[in-house]
Structure 1
Amino acid sequence: MRLLSSANLKHVLQCWTKKFRSQNIPDPNSSAEYIIAHVLGKKTLFGVKLDTVLSRSQTDQVNSLCKKRLTRMPVQYILGEWDFQDVTLKMKAPVLIPRPETEELAELCSDTLGCMSTREGAVFLEIGPGSGAITVSLLKRFPELQAVAVDISEEACQLTRDNAELTATSDRLTIIHGDFMSSQVFMNLLRVQPFCLAVSNPPYLTTKEMESLQEEISCFEDHKALHGGEDGLDIVRGVVLRSSELLQPGGQLWLEVGESHPPLVEKLTADPDTWKGYSKQLKYEKTVTDLYGKPRFCQLVQSS
């Protein structure tokens, strides 16, 4: 698509929205708006006059970024950043992009931490931080806390590190690159425990669900951070079991899972056979629905 060497905002916005719509790009209008706003140094186009003239350089930049969107690259990767609660975080493929549900999970953790009688020197654990969104937002909100984040993805560890530095929280964060289920990582965590809180948004999509992903997800985001096995619970089970050994008495685990999973997680924790070989166990406390009314979050409590 060709645009004039310079054009007003309304014309550029209309052209790219039309192009996106013709190519069946999801959210065509907002995709164009976010990209143009970014080029103009804004978060959104709110308050920007439609007759604002874009320079040739700005128009070329919009064209270049919008062509990336035509490949179904998510806007967050195109911009290289995204807002999460009250912070702006770096985003980079293939590390998972935080969803609205991720913000809800962060709020649930924040509420839990806010109710604790003492937080000075306390440490929380995030299993699979991805971009580090939850961890850095909690560290930002609770300056007396420390955190440990474990991720099997080197790219995720680096992005978490970058975002911690960006939000001036890196001095209170320890990042471990490795598999949470490995004995080496587990022994390292045992040396740090007990944790007051553990949080995880683990891979929980079923094998069948992985077959019907949007192109934005299937082509750009890390499948290992999405696929939870045949029933979606392969990683969830391990997180529940190992967290039981890492939490302090009364410590809590918050999980984000698939909408069919909460009763299965509750059944898992209620089965005595689940805890054979473990010195401690978690009690299923409650299920919390997401903003769409779907059962999404599981709260478990260290009962030993």
Structure 2
Amino acid sequence: MTFREALNRGKLYLMECGIEEYELDAWLLFEHVTGINKAMYYVKDREELPEDQERKYQEMLHRRGEHIPLQHLTGVQEFMGYSFRVNGNVLIPRQDTEILVEDADAFCHVMEGQGRNIRILDLCTGSGCILLSLMKMDSHGSRSGIGSDLSEEALRIARENQKILEVSKEKAAFIKSDLFEEITGRFDMIVSNPPYIRTKEIEKLQEEVRLHDPFQALDGKEDGLYFYQRITERASDFLNDEGRLIFEIGYDQGEAVSAMMKDAGFDSVYVKKDLAGLDRVVGGVYNRAREN
């Protein structure tokens, strides 16, 4: 079987399996197995595909046809221009979350312009993609932070990503904690992409998400707001003066989370939309002077 025949059969197979982006997924799996890019493919497309690569490709196609996420098969997801290791123990980093990182990075630049060192807390860190991206984007050498998660399996992946991305332990530490339970000290910024799907809505999600993302990373309890409430209620105890709290939210949660933050004493609360025009980030500032 030639390179071209194998790829075309892969596209057809995934299409028949109901994979939405069957052409792209067939190519990405093909690229992962063979190690060739598209330029090399057009040179080699009529050559015979080595038998071991053909077997491996067929195996991965079969697993993708069972709606196992592409990223679980390749073990990698691109996020903020960096490659993150992922598996079934962490939520796959999504492009929507890049809005949160870009927002947090912009605020970091403001503080860095004031000559400040910045300490960041990332709650529900999962793969570590938010905290590690913010550390990699640190052009001033002024950032450090902690990522916490209740899942030891997720923390293992976060620490693996830390090594891959060469972020020192001095800049980022990952600890097991139920939100603030094991956290000490104060921070200039708290960021979080917590579980926010309503429990009853999880069964309606795509098979790739419903069956293969960790339930614990999806389940926001009955109304989807459980973790926002818990974090917002205690965030002020862990923020420095004019510290910022920034959440990723579901598309219909902007109003509720904004009200929650205002009730907890946060000022300048805002909602930011994603590229699809949907509410995606809520943030605010805590002014400690209001406590007096």
- Identity among equivalent pairs (%): 27
Residue of structure 2 in register with 1:102 after alignment: 97
The counterpart of 2:142, out of the listed 141, 144, 148, is: 144
Q: Which consecutive residues of structure 1, in runs of 5 or more, have no partner in the other structure?
A: 1-6, 276-280
Residue of structure 1 in register with 2:250 after alignment: 258
Change (3 A) 1:111 1:216: same
CA distance in 2, matches of 1:55, 1:166: 30
The counterpart of 1:25, out of the listed 13, 16, 19, is: 19
Give the deviation of 1:302 after TM superposition: 1.0
Give the deviation of 1:52 after TM superposition: 5.0
Which residue identity does 1:148 align to in structure 2?
A: I
Which residue identity does 2:41 align to in structure 1?
A: V
For 1:134, what is the secondary structure of its paired residue? helix
| CA deviation map 1:233-274 (0-9, x unaligned) | 001111112222111111111101112211112222333xxx
| CA-based RMSD | 1.7
Whether the 8 Å CA contact 2:249–2:280 is kept in 1: the answer is: yes
CA distance in 2, matches of 1:119, 1:154: 36
Which residue identity does 1:66 align to in structure 2?
A: L
CA distance in 1, matches of 2:261, 2:211: 35
Give the deviation of 1:91 after TM superposition: 1.0
TM-score, normalised with respect to structure 1? 0.87
Whether the 8 Å CA contact 2:148–2:175 is kept in 1: the answer is: yes
For 2:96, what is the secondary structure of its paired residue? helix
Q: How does 1:87-236 map to 2 (within 5 A)?
A: 87-116=82-111, 117-118=113-114, 121-142=117-138, 143-171=141-169, 172-182=171-181, 185=182, 189-190=183-184, 192-193=185-186, 195-236=187-228
CA distance in 1, matches of 2:40, 2:109: 36
Residue of structure 2 in register with 1:45 after alignment: 38
Which residue identity does 2:125 align to in structure 1?
A: P
CA distance in 2, matches of 1:252, 1:97: 25
Which residue identity does 2:234 align to in structure 1?
A: R
| CA deviation map 1:133-188 (0-9, x unaligned) | 11111111113311100101111111110001111113221111121153xx2xxx
For 1:57, what is the secondary structure of its paired residue? helix
Whether the 8 Å CA contact 1:251–1:302 is kept in 2: the answer is: yes
TM-score, normalised with respect to structure 2? 0.91
CA distance in 1, matches of 2:130, 2:276: 20
Change (3 A) 1:175 1:118: farther
Match status 1:300 vs 2:284 = yes
Give the deviation of 1:284 after TM superposition: 4.9
CA distance in 2, matches of 1:147, 1:110: 13
Change (3 A) 1:84 1:47: farther
| CA deviation map 1:69-123 (0-9, x unaligned) | 1221100010011211221111111310011111221111111111213466421
Which residue identity does 2:137 align to in structure 1?
A: R
Give the deviation of 1:125 after TM superposition: 0.7
Residue of structure 2 in register with 1:4 after alignment: none
CA distance in 2, matches of 1:197, 1:226: 23
Whether the 8 Å CA contact 1:127–1:201 is kept in 2: the answer is: yes
Residue of structure 1 in register with 2:29 after alignment: 35
Whether the 8 Å CA contact 2:79–2:94 is kept in 1: the answer is: no
CA distance in 1, matches of 2:13, 2:247: 39
Which residue identity does 1:165 align to in structure 2?
A: K
CA distance in 1, matches of 2:53, 2:164: 26
